[in-house]
């Protein structure tokens, strides 16, 4: 009888806890990594980020998304030469709260200044790959489309 009573109590508590968890979706923390020089690849990655945001129900379900760009891919983000589709997509993502980081080593190697990159770009003096590693160590999910 006591076993049946305990089982009944536990059965009534578990669904309440599960319902509570369903009401509070996990906030996502994600780092996207881009180093390929293709304009098409840059557009693809930016589209993936937007699809990600849309797929989880919007930024209300996102703690943080950061795009880290290094190597030849960074040339696609020099403002004066930026493809209009890339500019539009990046502006929309930054407007939603997506962070954009540029590898300091790449900036130095390619003589790119922060002023040449879109407003709000964060220079990563430690390097792009180090930033990716730091974010992964903090629990970010790593995505390299």
CB-facing half-sphere around the CA of 44: CA atoms within 13 A? 13
CATH code assigned to 26-143: 3.40.1260.10
Share of the chain above pLDDT 90, in %: 82
What pLDDT, in 10s, does the model give residues 25-61? 679 999 999 999 999 999 999 999 999 999 999 999 9
Q: Can you give the pTM of this predicted structure?
A: 0.82
Boundaries of every domain in the chain: 26-143
What is d(CA 111, CA 8) in angstroms, rounded to the nearest whole number? 69
- Residue 52, φ and ψ in degrees, nearest 5: -60, -50
């Amino acid at each position: 009888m006591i076993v049946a009573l305990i089982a009944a109590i536990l059965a009534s508590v578990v669904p309440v806890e599960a319902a509570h968890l369903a009401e509070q979706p996990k906030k996502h923390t994600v780092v996207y990594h881009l180093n390929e020089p293709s304009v098409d690849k840059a557009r693809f990655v930016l589209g993936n980020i937007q699809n990600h945001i849309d797929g989880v129900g919007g930024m209300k379900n996102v703690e943080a998304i950061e795009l880290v760009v290094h190597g030849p891919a960074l040339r696609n983000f020099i403002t004066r030469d930026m493809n209009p589709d890339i500019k539009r997509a990046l502006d929309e993502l930054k407007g939603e709260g997506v962070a954009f980081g540029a590898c300091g080593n790449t900036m130095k190697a390619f003589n790119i200044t922060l002023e040449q990159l879109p407003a709000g770009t964060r220079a990563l003096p430690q390097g792009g790959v180090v930033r990716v590693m730091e974010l992964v160590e903090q629990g970010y999910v790593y995505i390299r489309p």
